[in-house]
Amino acid sequence: MVLHDVATGVEQVIHETPDLIEAPNWSPCGTFLVLNGGGRLFGLTLADGAIHWIDTGPLSALNNDHGISPDGKTLAVSESPARGTSCIYTLPITGGTPTKVTPLVPSYFHGWSPDGTTLTYTAQRDGLFQIFTIPAKGGNETQLTSGPGHKDGPDYSADGQWIWFNSDHHGATPDIWRIRPDGSDLQQMTDDAPVNWFPHPSPDGRRVLYLAYPEDVEGHPRGQDVALKLMPKDGGAACTVAEFHGGQGSINVPNWSPDGAAFAYVRYARP
């Protein structure tokens, strides 16, 4: 478990374990991270590295698609007791009884709107993965994208004006795209050879972090030599800020510090 300072490039390893852990969320208060491992969620306190398990009630097969509401009071989680069954729930950040949000499965959480009222997620409907939104309290889902290709990893910009995601619908390796929350104004933001996944706009609104695989990789597997890249918020040349062994589980969900000065990610030991 690594913290990366954007200004200096200095990295700090804050947690090591032989067990599989994934997908750090940085809390809005800035004092702890939330990760998943073994089908459960746990908090990791930054000051002393202490771990506390989060009570998720009957949910015991949580995947790496989870996130903290902007006010820091609520968790959105995704549980997959079997392949193709992922469903999104919310529960108190301190743990408690989960509330089902998505009526249809599979649905995989990826981001909260800045005002905390809406979730964005990827979901497979009619055999295709598309980008959706839904009220955080539950209700009817809204499909933002359509057509062929795999769309994934949606996350809101800090001003709520865009939802960023990755897609290969243009017939090339996955690139980074953005779309308005009403489904209009689709824009392609990268156009290069690497396989680009999981864009996360920074809380200060200045840049977007994403994961880049080698061009011959299919999907977003674990155990790959990957890079983390930063690009300006309105597109342009991206710079590589970290290269490591990782992939699936490294930055699947929002992982920025609340001030946008640093981000967290998971790297894995080489076999």
Mean pLDDT (the chain, rounded): 97
Q: Residue with structure tokens 């009957």?
A: 58
pTM: 0.97
> Rounded distance, CA 115 to CA 143, Å?
20
pLDDT greater at residue 157 or residue 171: 157
β-partners of residue 51 are: 44
Q: Based on the number of CB atoms within 10 Å of its own CB, is 148 exposed (0-12), middle (13-18) or buried (19 or more)?
A: exposed
pLDDT digit string, tens, across residues 16-72: 999 999 999 999 999 999 999 999 999 999 999 999 999 999 999 999 999 999 999
Percent residues over pLDDT 90 in the chain: 99
Decide: 40 and 62 in contact? Cβ < 8 Å: yes
If phi > 0 it is left, if psi is from -120 to 50 it is alpha, else beta; for residue 236 that is left
Decide: 67 and 116 in contact? Cβ < 8 Å: no
pLDDT of 271 strictly over 90: no
> Rounded distance, CA 150 to CA 174, Å?
8
Predicted pLDDT of residue 248: 97
Dump the DSSP string for the chain. Answer: -EEEETTT--EEE----SS--EEEEE-TTSSEEEEEETTEEEEEETTT--EEEE--TT---B-S--EE-TTSSEEEEEE-SSTT--EEEEEETT----EE--SSSSEEEEEE-TTSSEEEEEEEETTEEEEEEEETT----EE---SSS-EEEEEE-TTSS-EEEEE-TTSSS-EEEEE-TTS---EE---SSSEEEEEEE-TTSSEEEEEEE-TT--S--SSEEEEEEEEETT----EEEEEEEE-TTTSSS--B-TTSSEEEE------
* Radius of gyration (C-alpha) of the chain in whole angstroms: 17
Predicted pLDDT of residue 117: 98
Under CATH, which number does the domain 2-265 receive?
2.120.10.30
pLDDT digit string, tens, across residues 101-133: 999 999 999 999 999 999 999 999 999 999 999
For 146, the token pair is: 């359509």
